[in-house]
């Protein structure tokens, strides 16, 4: 049985150069955003860790500085 899979949260955003980017955000910030969510799972064989990455493409990209980041 699999135990303790690390879950990381990401969001598309607008960076300081006013270009689209992706940044890691907190779980609470992720839950507040609305949009399309994609899922990616990494296993120990692929990159040395076991984790799930959830990325949201919010309706209207938020600015990088407005997000609660990790």
Position 33 in a domain: yes
* Residue ranges making up the domain that contains 12: 6-66
Residue 47 lies inside a defined structural domain of this protein: yes
What are the pLDDT digits (tens) for 20-35? 999 999 999 999 999 9
- Residue 36: inside a domain, yes or no? yes
Judge whether 58 lies within some domain.
yes
CA distance 38 to 17: 25
pTM, whole model, 2 decimals? Answer: 0.84
Structural domains of the chain, count: 1
- The reply to whether 1 falls in a domain is no
Question: Would you say residue 29 lies in a domain?
Answer: yes
Mean of pLDDT over the chain: 89
Q: What is the DSSP string of the chain?
A: -----EEEEEEEEE-TTSSEEEEEE-HHHHHH--EEEEEEEE-HHHHSS-EEEEEEEESSPPBGGGS-B-
In a domain, 25, yes or no: yes
């Amino acid at each position: 049985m699999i135990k303790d899979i690390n879950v990381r949260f990401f969001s598309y955003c607008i960076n300081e150069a006013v270009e689209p980017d992706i940044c890691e955000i907190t779980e609470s910030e992720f839950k507040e955003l609305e949009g399309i969510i994609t899922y990616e799972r990494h296993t120990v064989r692929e990159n040395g860790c076991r984790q799930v990455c959830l990325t949201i493409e919010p309706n209207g990209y938020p600015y990088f500085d407005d997000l609660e980041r990790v």
